[in-house]
Amino acid sequence: MIIPVGLGKDSYNIVIERGALKRAAEIFDLDRKVMIVTDSQVPVEHYCGLASACKVSVAGIFQEGEASKTPQNFLNICNKMLKEGFSRRDCVVAVGGGVAGDMAGFAAACYMRGIDFYNVPTTLLSQVDSSVGGKTAVDLNGVKNIIGAFHQPRGVIIDPDVLKTLSPRQFACGAAEIIKIAACMDPELFERIESCGIAGNPDIDEIIAAAVALKVRVVEEDEREKGLRKVLNFGHTLGHGIEAVTGLYHGECVALGMLPMCSGAVRERIQEVLKRENLPVGFFEKAPEPVKVIEAAMHDKKAEGESIVTVRLDNIGSFRFEAASEEQLTRDYLEVFG
Ligand SMILES: NC(=O)c1ccc[n+]([C@@H]2O[C@H](COP(=O)([O-])OP(=O)(O)OC[C@H]3O[C@@H](n4cnc5c(N)ncnc54)[C@H](O)[C@@H]3O)[C@@H](O)[C@H]2O)c1
């Protein structure tokens, strides 16, 4: 399946197909110098074929994890390209999760003021979320994605076969993002998830494609997050706060962060699908102190002055934006976790 992303001169195709990675040389223009950016935990089998299909390939492998999404590692990629004589007609390919994609995309956006970038997302989260939409970034002093650029890829390959090597916990994090976008925008997809689940679903390709199509629709309408694209932050405001004070993974925090942002009936439905995907709907022990969570949530770069825009769901498939004060967020949090 091919999903076109219509963004004028920055338009590109997303290819979603089992085994598509083996056809990378047909889908991407690899007849040039190619900087392959990946991390230490991405299995070699996911990029060795691609590397041998390039005219010249150079590997940039960083230590896995969010802590590596740094200006230093971004500079390491740029340095490598400079040393290997990369020109404006050469390109960068990311093979990995959102960390590899965001950092490699940012290097491509900056090197010689912008060279071609391709993305091969290998986590479920990066397939349905971070590989779509052209946001690239690195973190600085612990502040996530604070230095970055919009730089659309020239192409994306989503090969569901690569998910076979992903841990169930990382898989669940991607499932949280699918549940998020389905709950906000697509009641049919949400119902399908309610009845068939995501993990272990033989039609996972179709679920991925449906989620990608929703994100493409959002990005086509609002590439630079002036309005509609903020819907993707559903669950992320409190989620970021929870992430900052617990050791939970991003997708797990998004799962928890969605719950206080819904009406009671919607919350019950979301809780059921989260449980089925082995995502948390509460804390094992005592919930973290609201004051710490809310402080971290308000420090998020999307906070505007005294309030922050939140996404609320009264019904599955429709959402509204609401500016929330620190006090309001505290009430929301305590209603579910107090
Ligand atoms: N650009 C955007 O629009 C956007 C949207 C959402 C999230 N993000 C960013 O995405 C990042 C999170 O992405 P992520 O959850 O993919 O994290 P990640 O890139 O750290 O990947 C998670 C783990 O999975 C491993 N992995 C990747 N593919 C694998 C595979 N096929 N088999 C086995 N292991 C594999 C990685 O080595 C890593 O240890 C964050 O930095 C976040 O800010 C960006």
57-98 residue pLDDT tens: 999 999 999 999 999 999 999 999 999 999 999 999 999 999
Provide the angle, in degrees to the nearest 10, between the axes of the packed helices 236-245 and 326-337.
Answer: 80
What's the 101 CA to ligand 1 centre distance in angstroms? 8
pLDDT of residue 183: 98
What's the 26 CA to ligand 1 centre distance in angstroms? 25
What's the 314 CA to ligand 1 centre distance in angstroms? 30
Could you tell me which of 138, 150, 146, 205 has the C-alpha nearest to residue 178?
A: 205
What's the 204 CA to ligand 1 centre distance in angstroms? 18
Q: Please tell me if the CB atom of residue 260 comes closer than 6 angstroms to any atom of ligand 1.
A: no
Q: Please tell me if the CB atom of residue 98 comes closer than 6 angstroms to any atom of ligand 1.
A: yes
Task: Please state, in angstroms and rounded to a whole number, the distance separating the CA atoms of residues 133 and 152.
Answer: 7
Q: Please tell me if the CB atom of residue 127 comes closer than 6 angstroms to any atom of ligand 1.
A: no
Task: Mean pLDDT check: name the lowest of 41-50, 89-98, 140-149, 302-311.
Answer: 302-311
Q: In this predicted model, what pLDDT tens digit does every residue of 100-120 receive, in sequence order?
A: 999 999 999 999 999 999 999
Q: Determine how many CB atoms are found less than 10 A away from the CB of residue 83.
A: 9
Which atom of ligand 1 lies at the shortest distance from residue 165's CA? 32
Q: Please tell me if the CB atom of residue 170 comes closer than 6 angstroms to any atom of ligand 1.
A: yes
Question: Do residues 109 and 141 touch, judged by C-beta distance below 8 A?
Answer: no
What's the 331 CA to ligand 1 centre distance in angstroms? 32
pLDDT of residue 299: 77
Confidence check: pLDDT of 241 > 60:
yes
Task: Please state, in angstroms and rounded to a whole number, the distance separating the CA atoms of residues 299 and 172.
Answer: 27
- Closest residue by CA, ligand 1 atom 2: 130
Question: Do residues 37 and 95 touch, judged by C-beta distance below 8 A?
Answer: yes
Could you tell me which of 247, 271, 265, 250 has the C-alpha nearest to residue 337?
A: 271
Work out whether the CA dihedral 163, 169, 172, 176 comes out positive or negative: negative
Distance of CA 310 to the CA centre of its chain: 19
- Per-residue confidence band for 174, with pLDDT thresholds at 50, 70 and 90: very high
Question: Do residues 233 and 319 touch, judged by C-beta distance below 8 A?
Answer: no
pLDDT of residue 143: 84
Q: Please tell me if the CB atom of residue 240 comes closer than 6 angstroms to any atom of ligand 1.
A: no
Partners of 313 in the β-ladder: 262
Q: Please tell me if the CB atom of residue 134 comes closer than 6 angstroms to any atom of ligand 1.
A: no
Confidence check: pLDDT of 301 > 60:
no
What's the 96 CA to ligand 1 centre distance in angstroms? 7
pLDDT of residue 284: 80
Q: Please tell me if the CB atom of residue 70 comes closer than 6 angstroms to any atom of ligand 1.
A: no
Question: Do residues 279 and 333 touch, judged by C-beta distance below 8 A?
Answer: no
pLDDT of residue 168: 97
Q: Please tell me if the CB atom of residue 177 comes closer than 6 angstroms to any atom of ligand 1.
A: no
Mean pLDDT of 280-290: 90
Tell me the two tokens of residue 207: 């679920």
pLDDT of residue 286: 84
What's the 28 CA to ligand 1 centre distance in angstroms? 22
Mean pLDDT of 31-50: 97
**Based on the number of CB atoms within 10 Å of its own CB, is 90 exposed (0-12), middle (13-18) or buried (19 or more)?**
buried
Which CATH homologous superfamily contains domain 168-337? Dehydroquinate synthase-like - alpha domain (1.20.1090.10)
Domain topology for 2-165: Rossmann fold (3.40.50)
Which atom of ligand 1 lies at the shortest distance from residue 251's CA? 15
Half-sphere exposure of 124 (CA within 13 A, CB side): 29
| Verdict on whether the full-model pTM lies above 0.85 | yes
Q: Where are the alpha helices (DSSP H) in the chain?
A: 24-27, 48-53, 71-83, 98-110, 124-125, 168-185, 187-196, 204-221, 236-245, 250-258, 264-276, 290-298, 326-337
Q: Please tell me if the CB atom of residue 218 comes closer than 6 angstroms to any atom of ligand 1.
A: no
Higher local confidence (pLDDT), 300 or 151? 151
Q: So where are the chain's domains? A: 2-165, 168-337
